[in-house]
Amino acid sequence: MPYFTDNYIKTANKVGAELAPAGEAYYDVYTNHGKDYYCKDSLHPQPLGTFVSASTIFFTIFNDDELKLFEESEHTTIDKLINSNVAHAEQGIMKSYPLEDLNLIYNLAYKYAKAVAPAVEGKGKYVSIAYEEPTTAPEAKKIKAPKLKIKKAKLKKKSLKVTFKKAKNIKGINVLVAKKKSFAKKSIVFKKTIKSKKAIKKAAFTVKSKKFKKKMYIKLQAYVTNSGKKTKGKWSKPVRIK
């Protein structure tokens, strides 16, 4: 399995894709916890096997989400969700799945999605659970967050459209709007973080607030991620809203 994990990571890094390490999570479930979620044909997963993959994909897509284990009040809903999405399973179908098993799977899916992400981005190493040697390139240099430059900030009917000069590696943008150019704490009327990939790629976004007025000031702060942690850049030069 390390061979496949290594090449999956290298390929995802090369093409700029995300990678859901379902195999790593499943290996841990099977090897360290004794859970065999394959059907008798040894090819198709039982419902909880599918749940391992689905949970890993979820935390790969929503990598910023925090782990929140299931509670008893959610048990019935999760059971129904699993059984309504069984693609092929001759064994392992249950009316109610042990909550302990559901939370074990969810926890491991979260663990491996978080562990693999930096390696996929070329910013670290990942050691496959099935092997004891690093399976990716050496750790990359720390990425520095760029200082953004605002091109325009135009207000129309309480909608503020902002364009800025494009920059690389940005994961999010902090936005501040204030009455005064000094951005004294009492003068700040609006703050928000832009995480939309589309907005970052286009270098343009729109925010709305009833507090917006012309002649106020706006400034931006980009941030990047290094090994899953935010690294903030310097604030842009304040621009007057027109």
- pLDDT tens per residue, range 76-122: 999 998 888 766 566 888 999 999 999 999 999 999 999 999 999 99
Centre a 10 Å sphere on the Cβ of residue 57 and count the other Cβ atoms it contains. 16
- pLDDT tens per residue, range 118-172: 999 998 889 888 875 555 555 667 899 999 999 999 999 899 999 999 999 999 9
- What is the SS3 assignment for 32-95? HHCCCCECCCCCCECHHHHHHHHHHHHHHHCCCCCCCCCCHHHHHHHHHHHHCCCCCCCCCCCC
**Its pTM surpasses 0.75:** no
